Amino acid sequence: MVVTAIISMVFGLIGLVSSMVLMAEKSGKASKTMSVIGLGFLVFGAFTIPAPGPGDRPRDQRGDAPAPITGETAATEPAGSGSGPDSTLSGRIIAVDPGHGGGDPGAIGPAGTLEKDITLSVSKYLMLFLEEAGAEVVATRLEDRNLSTRERQAVANHATADAFVSIHVNAHDLESVMGTETYYYPNHPRSEDLAQGIQDRIAEALDSRDRGIRQASFAILRGAQMPAVLVECLYLSSPVEEQRLLEPEVRQTIARAILRALEEFFGEP
Ligand SMILES: [Zn+2]
C-alpha cells in the first residue's frame, strides 16, 4: 500500500511538473495566446465597465496590489481606415511590447496610476485593432509580469516581426511637462520613418504637445532586427495627462493612432 501510494505520488508529481512545463512553454509563445485575448475582448465587450473614478483607486494608497486599469471595453468604432483584408497590415507580423510589468511599475502618476497598467491597456487595444486589420500580433507580455530587455527583444526577433513597437508613458520631475515623443535608433533604415509616423499620428489624435522624434541608444531598440520604436505616449507625471490616460477612450485613441501609422508605414513603397 505504502509503496504503491508512493509510486502513484511520484507519477502524479511527474505529471504535474510536466504539465506545468508544457504550460510554461505555451505561455512563452505569445502569438498562441492571442486568440485567447481576442476571446477575452469579446467576452469583456459584452459588459460596459465604467471609466475609473477617484473612488476606484483606494487600494493604491493602502499599498496593496495596484488597482488594475479598468474600462477594457471593446472598441465601438472601426479601428482603422483600411482595416480588414485590404489593409496594408494584412499578413504583417507586428511585435507589441507593453513597457514594464510585474515588480517594475515604471512611472507612477500623482494619483497613483502605474505606467505598467497603462502600457498594457494601450497595447491590448492596439493588438485587437491590429488583428482586426489582418496583422499577426506577437506580444512580449499579456499579463502583469516583467521581462528583461533581452527577453522582449527575443520575442520580436524570433517571430521575425516586420515592426516592433514598445509602448510607454513618460515622467518628469516637473508636473507641468506634457506631450508626446517617440524614440528610434538607426538599427534599421526605416526605424526613423516609423517613429515619425507614430509620433505624428498620436500627437494629432490626442492634440498633445508634439515633442518630436528623438534618436536614443536604448538597448531594446539597438538589438531589434526590424524597424523599431519606443513611444512615450503622454506624461504620467502630469496630473492633467494622468487623468487623460485613465480614460479608456484616450487609450483607444492612442492605439488607433499607432494602427494608422503602421498602416501608412506599410503602404509606402
Ligand atoms: Zn517606461
List phi, psi (to 5°) of 24: -65, -40
**Has residue 127 been placed in a domain?**
yes
Number of separate domains in the chain: 1
Whole-number Å distance, alpha carbon 137 to ligand 1 midpoint, is 21
Span 227-241, pLDDT tens digits: 999 999 999 999 999
**Has residue 25 been placed in a domain?**
no
**Has residue 168 been placed in a domain?**
yes
Residue 261, pLDDT above cutoff 80: yes
List phi, psi (to 5°) of 138: -120, 135
Residues with CB under 5 A from ligand 1 (ion): 99, 106, 168
Q: Which of 181, 232, 241, 263 is the catalytic position?
A: 232
The pLDDT of 37-63, averaged and rounded, is 34
**Has residue 14 been placed in a domain?**
no
Segment among 54-63, 77-86, 137-146, 218-227 with least mean pLDDT: 54-63
C-alpha span between 130 and 79 (Å, rounded): 8
C-alpha span between 154 and 150 (Å, rounded): 6
0.85 exceeded by the pTM? no
Which pLDDT does position 132 carry in this prediction?
96
CATH number of the CATH domain containing 113: 3.40.630.40
Span 103-115, pLDDT tens digits: 999 999 999 999 9
157 vs 67 pLDDT, higher one: 157
Question: CA-based Rg of the chain, rounded to a whole angstrom?
Answer: 20
**Has residue 19 been placed in a domain?**
no
Q: Active-site residue 232, yes or no?
A: yes
Which pLDDT does position 86 carry in this prediction?
72
Which pLDDT does position 236 carry in this prediction?
98
- Nearest Cα neighbor of 34 from 168, 160, 128 is 128
- Cα angle vertex 162, ends 158, 164, to 5°? 75
C-alpha span between 31 and 38 (Å, rounded): 11
- Cα angle vertex 40, ends 82, 119, to 5°? 70
Cell numbers found for residue 155: 520575442
**Has residue 112 been placed in a domain?**
yes
Which pLDDT does position 269 carry in this prediction?
56
Q: How far is CA 142 from CA 100, 171, 235, in A?
A: 12, 23, 23
C-alpha span between 99 and 103 (Å, rounded): 12
**Has residue 80 been placed in a domain?**
yes
Whole-number Å distance, alpha carbon 231 to ligand 1 midpoint, is 9
**What domain range includes position 36?**
30-267
